[in-house]
Amino acid sequence: TLVIVDASQALGLINIDMKNIDIDFLVFAGHKTMYGPFGIGGYIYNSDYELKMFSTGGTGSNSTDLHMPKELPYRYEPGSYNIEAIFGTYNGIKWIESNNIKEKEFELTKYCVEKLKKLKNIELYIPKDNEKHIGIISFNLLGYKAEEVASILDEDFNICVRAGHHCAPKVGAFLGDNAKYGMVRVSLGYFNTEEDIDKLSEALEELL
């Protein structure tokens, strides 16, 4: 059995010990918590399992060969590299290392949860342990579809959130009847402020 973890919303914010929790592949995106540009992703390999590429569009660095190189990482890197995105993600990682990213996002998340918990007719989908909660807060307002809430926040309050199943449709069904049709997701980042969260809370209070 292979264990593949999508860490797109976590890598850069929390420490992940792949060996201790037996992760074979850790997948990430450059443009989220790595603070890089769009158009780049990757995975960290911690397994003896050999992935087989079914389509490459070329044979990598040696165009005269009929097969991809055997050496890693070139075996899985056909075509031209997205140099700008690679360089941007590299600098995003360096920037994360030199700033207090984790601590600030943790405090913002804690503050936002406290504000949202005070609202009536809101259903929050958050961990019980606040010490393990950072960056992402999902919720529904009773009486509204998630898409309605996101649209109103965007058009009337200039607040950007996401609505839907967030690339995990089965999770919604697991969380209950209100979540199976989608959720509103707040994604907090280093450049957000408590004032941003206050505006969100006030806007939701108007809807309720």
Whether residue 22 contacts residue 42, with contact meaning beta carbons closer than 8 Å, is answered with no
Biggest CA-to-CA distance, the chain: 66
Cα 76 to Cα 58, 72, 141, 189: the distances in Å are 11, 7, 44, 32
Cα 14–chain centre separation? 12
Catalytic: which of 167, 170, 174, 191? 167
Helix runs in 21-126, H state only: 83-98, 101-117
Determine whether 160 is an active site residue.
Answer: no
Q: Rounded CA gap, 25 and 41, in Å? A: 13
Which residues are tagged catalytic?
A: 167
